[in-house]
Amino acid sequence: MNLNQNHFELFGLPRQFSVDAVALDARYRELQREVHPDRFATASDAERRLSMQMATQVNEAYRTLKAALPRARYLLELAGVDAAAETNTAMPADFLMEQMDWREGLEEAGRLGDACGLIRMDIELKRDMDVAYATLAGQFERSEMAAAAGTVRKLMFLTRLNEEIADARDNVNPLSDTAGKN
């Protein structure tokens, strides 16, 4: 294991958006066995520090490659493309309008305690996210990195919205549903 390897090299996986989850999990377990700090408990201070650094790298790489959005951001980073998610919030007008509609619907459903409405929103949003992830996979396959960066920014918006819907669902009592009363 080399501390200078990128995450894909570390796990012996091709540098692509689609990842073999079974191979990723198996390699993670192998690497953990190799570098786990407990194996180096009686080693020198330098070896223990190196083990800790390697274990940290393995864990970070695994978390990045396991989840689609961090993996996409990492692929863009490796390609020298900054998704600039924090500073580049320019989005197509239709997407921004759709976001406003989502947020208004979320606010209303939360205010009314509409558990069914929140469930419908959750299902619809996840369908939109699935479409966006499929689009992203195609963009990576065709090496359309600028387009992929735009899709990553969209997915970041959608992911935040998905978290807000989940929070709203957690705060609504399904027995007080008002969906049928509107």
Identify the CATH assignment for 93-181 out of 1.20.1280.20, 3.40.50.720, 1.20.120.1810, 1.10.287.10: 1.20.1280.20
pLDDT for position 149: 94
CA distance 146 to 160: 22
- For the chain, domain boundaries: 7-66, 93-181
pTM to 2 decimal places: 0.83
CA distance 71 to 9: 14
Domains 7-66 and 93-181 share a fold: no
- Mean pLDDT of the 55-59 span: 93
Residue-wise pLDDT for 74-111, tens only, equals 999 999 998 765 556 677 889 889 989 999 999 999 89
CB crowding 24-34: b at 16 or more within 10 Å, else e: beebbeebeee
Band of residue 177 on the pLDDT scale cut at 50, 70, 90: very low
pLDDT for position 15: 96
Q: How far lies 127's CA from each of 101, 131, 134, 156, in Å? A: 16, 6, 11, 15
CA distance 46 to 112: 59
Q: How far lies 146's CA from each of 73, 99, 108, 113, 159, in Å? A: 12, 22, 35, 40, 20
CA distance 181 to 114: 10
Q: Are 75 and 17 in contact (CB under 8 A)?
A: yes
Band of residue 175 on the pLDDT scale cut at 50, 70, 90: low
Domain 7-66: assigned CATH number? 1.10.287.110
